[in-house]
Homo-oligomer: A and B are copies of this chain.
């Protein structure tokens, strides 16, 4: 059973919007054993939609379509589906009730465009949209399933979870895919590959190993395809154990989690707390930590100190230190970390200060110069990094490097 995803909307093809829907849908389908064969993004153009639907139906059994269901003139998916199936639009009473309910909730008057949101092709089964006015549609046509959903992420997600995924599993459930991901740090992709070459060569054909590098970390993903979930899980676990034994020190986590999630888990397990003192990352480290449910159990908060005044006021950095060594220096970053740790009464503190760019560099401290310090129960460590000249990348690299330094310090204790 193969699935294809089609996203409709010029905004993706002109690069105004990143297609995050497809990744989410693919992951959810994978979790219940369905492989996505292809993801295709096309524009709001009738001919292209018709052609792409036909091609997808020649390869896949289930075709998921998102986008183009809004009330405005650029949204043509519904009309095009009518043409594809030789159907026509009819008013759906349940969908109309839903539109009315939503307008009542926000206490807004309805206009004709909103009423027409409740029209659907005659040959579809309506999928109710609790969070918006555009209904989803389930079609069965020449032994293929087509599902059309709105492109607004949280609307699509709720409809997938409450309706589409259960129905798909009910109808097609059989094969299973088991993934296991190991997070590694401190080794490049080629060296990892060399270290585990013998294990990789011994993998049976139904198990694949993939390397996913990202800013100093490499995720190793084992994927097993088959029928029996328990058997596959056992097989994958056996190979994962071999890899873990081989790479020991470089394994940060045995789940598809981020390094900050691994840190939060370790902090919680040990009943320790963490604070942050961020200059060049401007709240990004705090954000990465607090995106995780339950992070407040270990992360107490911290300071974003862009200005020197705030570095002194909130972290107790001495005016002398900044005057003598500069805001981007080993001395300053250590005082930031120790100040946060002490003032906020935390076991660990992350501090960073640097020149994220694109401006602010000097010959001695070019853009990309970053100092990171980690204060722990027994010591404070600091390290200088020289990244490149892209702001976003410098912020991301600083965060990952800081987490890796913290991870290593925690491991040593």
Q: A: which residues have CB within 8 A of B?
A: 10-20, 22-30, 35-44, 48, 52, 55, 70-74, 108, 111, 113-114, 131, 152, 154, 177, 179, 181, 188-191, 193-194, 200, 208-213, 219, 221, 223, 256, 276, 278-279, 281-287, 289-291, 293-296, 299-307, 309-310, 313-314, 343-345, 356-359, 388, 390-393, 395
Q: Which residue of B lies closest to A15 (CB)?
A: B27
Is B287 in contact with A208, judged by CB distance below 8 angstroms?
A: no
Q: Which 5 A-B pairs have the closest CB atoms?
A: A282-B290, A283-B286, A15-B27, A15-B26, A283-B283
Is A74 in contact with B209, judged by CB distance below 8 angstroms?
A: yes
Is A16 in contact with B193, judged by CB distance below 8 angstroms?
A: no
Collect the chain B residues with CB atoms within 8 Å of residue A74's CB: 208-211
Q: How far is the CB of A386 from chain B (nearest CB, A)?
A: 11
Is B301 in contact with A307, judged by CB distance below 8 angstroms?
A: yes
Cα A310 to Cα B273 in complex, Å, equals 13
Is B212 in contact with A344, judged by CB distance below 8 angstroms?
A: no
Collect the chain B residues with CB atoms within 8 Å of residue A152's CB: 213
Known pairs A282-B287, A282-B290, A344-B310; A36 contacts B14 (CB<8 A): yes
Cα A293 to Cα B190 in complex, Å, equals 35
Name 20 interchain pairs, CB-CB below 8 A, sorted by A: A12-B26, A13-B37, A13-B38, A15-B23, A16-B23, A18-B18, A22-B41, A38-B40, A39-B41, A74-B211, A154-B393, A283-B302, A284-B287, A287-B287, A290-B395, A293-B359, A294-B359, A300-B307, A301-B306, A301-B310
Is B305 in contact with A301, judged by CB distance below 8 angstroms?
A: yes
Q: Which residue of B lies closest to A288 (CB)?
A: B283
Is A193 in contact with B72, judged by CB distance below 8 angstroms?
A: yes
Collect the chain B residues with CB atoms within 8 Å of residue A295's CB: 282, 306
Collect the chain B residues with CB atoms within 8 Å of residue A309's CB: 300, 344-345
Known pairs A11-B212, A42-B38, A212-B16; A189 contacts B70 (CB<8 A): yes
Cα A11 to Cα B200 in complex, Å, equals 18
Is A18 in contact with B15, judged by CB distance below 8 angstroms?
A: no
Is B14 in contact with A71, judged by CB distance below 8 angstroms?
A: no
Q: How far is the CB of A21 from chain B (nearest CB, A)?
A: 9
Q: Which residue of B lies closest to A73 (CB)?
A: B200
Q: How far is the CB of A188 from chain B (nearest CB, A)?
A: 7
Is B188 in contact with A108, judged by CB distance below 8 angstroms?
A: yes
Cα A391 to Cα B73 in complex, Å, equals 33
Residue among B23, B72, B256 making CB contact with A12, cutoff 8 Å:
B23
Q: How far is the CB of A126 from chain B (nearest CB, A)?
A: 20
Q: Which residue of B lies closest to A179 (CB)?
A: B14
Given contacts A16-B181, A282-B287, 18 further A-B contacts (CB under 8 A): A11-B210, A11-B221, A12-B23, A13-B37, A13-B38, A19-B39, A37-B43, A38-B42, A74-B210, A114-B190, A131-B388, A278-B286, A283-B283, A283-B286, A290-B395, A291-B391, A313-B343, A314-B314
Is B301 in contact with A290, judged by CB distance below 8 angstroms?
A: no
